[in-house]
Amino acid sequence: MSWLNVVRIIQKLKQRDMKKSQFLPLTLALLILATASCKKTTPELKEVFKNDFLIGTAMNSYQVHGRDPLAKPFIIKNFNSITAENEMKWERIHPAPGVYSFAKADSIAEFAQKNNLVLIGHVLVWHSQTPDWVFRDSVGNTLSRDALLARMKDHIFTVVGHFKGKVKGWDVVNEAIDDNGAMRKSLWYQIIGEDYIQKAFEYAHEADPDAELYYNDYNNEQKVKRDGVIPIIKSLQQNGARIDAVGIQGHWHLDEPDLNELDESLSAYAALGVKIVITEMEVNVLPTPPEVYGADIQQQAKYLEELNPYKNGCPDSVQTQLANRYSDLFTIFMKHKKDITRVTFWGIHDGYSWKNGWPIVGRTNYPLLFDRNYQPKPAFWSVIKTAKGE
C-alpha cells in the first residue's frame, strides 16, 4: 500500500465524522501497513554499499536542469557521488583563449553540494575534447614547451581553483597510454614531453592541496596497458607528486575483460600504495567489432542491422548474461574493497548511456543496472545479491 493511498483513506475516514476511539486505531493500522510495504521497495544502491565504497554516476546538464524530472530524485536516492559526464571538459569549460564558461558545471556542483553528493572533477588534461587552439599561438603555429606548460597551468589553476572545496578529487590526466602500453603520442606528449603528466599533477596539487588526484584510463585492467600505467604512477610517486588513486574506467563487455586479469590488475595497482576507483562503468551487450573494444571516441564502426539486434527490447537471455557479468565483476570489487574507494556508473539508466551512440551511431544498448523507465533490471538485483554475499 502506498503512502498516497493511506493519505486518501485517512481523509475519507475524517469526512465520515468517525469517533476518535475508532479513527485512531484504524489510522495506526494503516500506517503500519504502509511502512511494512515500503520495506519491500527497491534497495538504494548507495546504502547497500555504504560500508564498502562510494557509488557514483555520471550526470549531465540536461538532468541537472530538471528537463527529465525523474533524474534528480533518482540520483539522490541511489548514488552518493557524481561526475559531470561532459561539463568540465576543456572544450566546454574553456572553449576559447581566456574564456571560461562555468555555468553548467556550476549547476552540477551546486546540486552535489545541496544533496551531499561527493563531486568528482572530470577532466583536466586529455588528448580528446581539447580544442586545437590550446596547442597553437595566435597565428596558428604550434606552441613551445614552455608556452604550452603555461597554458596548462593557467587552465588547471583556474578550473581547480574555481571548484576548490567543492570537488573531492580530479581526474588529472586521462588516457595517456595507448592500447599497446606505450605513451600515447598526443600533442601534450609531443610538445611538452613525457613529464607533462608530472607537471599536470604538480599544478593540480598546488591549485587545491586538499583535492585527491587520479590518473584515469580505459583498458588499463589489461596487462599490456597496465604495464604502461604502472611506470607512470611509480614515476609520480618517486618525483614527489600527489597521486591518490588510479582510475579504471570500466567500459566493459559481456566477454571482456578477463576476470583473472582484472583481479591481478587490482592487486598490482594496490601494491603501489594507491587506491583504485572504477570511474565510468558499464557493460556493453551488443555485438561489437573487437577493434573498437575500449573507449577511444575517434574510432567508429559502420551501422549494420545485425549489429543492432535488440531494437525492440533486451531478450531475457541477454538480461541474464548481463546479470551474471555484473555479479562476477562486483564479486571481484568486493574482494578488493579495502583498496577500492568508489565505483561510478557512466550514466543513470540505459537510455542515457553513450553506448547507444558509440562505436556505432543509432543502436539500442542495455549496459546499465536500470532500464529506460528507471526500473531495476536483473543486473541490479544480481549486484545487490553480490553485495550481501548471497
Active site residues: 175, 280
72/92 with CB nearer ligand 9MR: 92
Q: Pick one of 88, 109, 295, 348: the residue that binds ligand 9MR (CB under 6 A).
A: 295
The interface with ligand 9MR within residues 32-71 (CB under 6 A) comprises: none
Q: How far is the CB of 292 from ligand 9MR (least distance, A)?
A: 11
Please list, in sequence order, all residues whose beta carbon lies within 8 angstroms of the beta carbon of residue 216, skipping any fewer than 6 positions away.
122, 123, 171, 173, 174, 175, 246, 247, 249, 277, 279
Q: Give the nearest residue (CB) to ligand 9MR.
A: 354
Chain-centroid distance, C-alpha 166 = 17
By CB under 6 A, the residues from 88 to 147 that bind ligand 9MR are 89, 129
Per CB under 6 A, does 85 bind ligand 9MR? yes
> Among residues 95 and 273, whose Cβ is nearest to ligand 9MR?
95
Question: What is the distance between the alpha carbons of residues 361 and 321, in angstroms, rounded to a whole number?
Answer: 24
Taking the least distance from each CB to ligand 9MR, the nearer of 3 and 62 is 62
Distances (CA, A) of 38 to 32, 34, 71, 74, 80: 10, 6, 21, 16, 21
The H-or-E segment that residue 323 falls in is helix 316-335
321's CB contacts (< 8 A; 6+ apart) are 254, 285
Contacts of 268 (CB under 8 A, 6+ apart): 226, 230
Binding-residue pattern over the window 211 to 250 for ligand 9MR, x denoting contact by CB under 6 A = --------------------------------------x-
Stretch that binds ligand 9MR, among 83-91, 148-156, 231-239, 253-261 (CB under 6 A): 83-91
Interface residues for ligand 9MR in 343-382 (CB under 6 A)?
Answer: 354
Nearer to ligand 9MR, 128 or 324 (CB): 128
Residues of span 138-177 touching ligand 9MR by CB under 6 A: 174
- Told to check if 320 binds ligand 9MR by CB under 6 A, we report no
**Which residues, in sequence order, are bridge partners of residue 177?**
183
286 vs 323, beta carbon nearer ligand 9MR: 286
Shorter beta-carbon distance to ligand 9MR: residue 36 or 297: 297
Q: What minimum distance in Å lies between the beta carbon of 361 and ligand 9MR?
A: 11
Q: Of 85-93, 99-107, 157-165, 305-313, which part binds ligand 9MR (CB under 6 A)?
A: 85-93
Rounded CA gap, 356 and 361, in Å? 7
> For ligand 9MR, which is the closer residue by CB, 85 or 208?
85
Find, among 250, 243, 252, the residue nearest to 275 by Cα: 243
> Taking CB under 6 A as the rule, does residue 86 contact ligand 9MR?
yes
CB count within 10 Å of CB 38 equals: 11
Residue 120's φ and ψ, nearest 5 degrees, are -110, 135
- How many whole angstroms separate alpha carbon 216 and alpha carbon 277? 9
- The CA angle 130-188-238, to the nearest 5 degrees, is 125
Which range in 84-92, 144-152, 200-208, 240-248 contacts ligand 9MR by CB under 6 A? 84-92
Contact pick of 87, 280, 350, 371 for ligand 9MR (by CB under 6 A)? 280
Q: State the residue for C-alpha cell 562476477.
A: 328
Residue with cell 571538459: 89
**Positions that interact with ligand 9MR (CB under 6 A):** 85-86, 89, 129, 174, 249, 280, 295, 297, 354
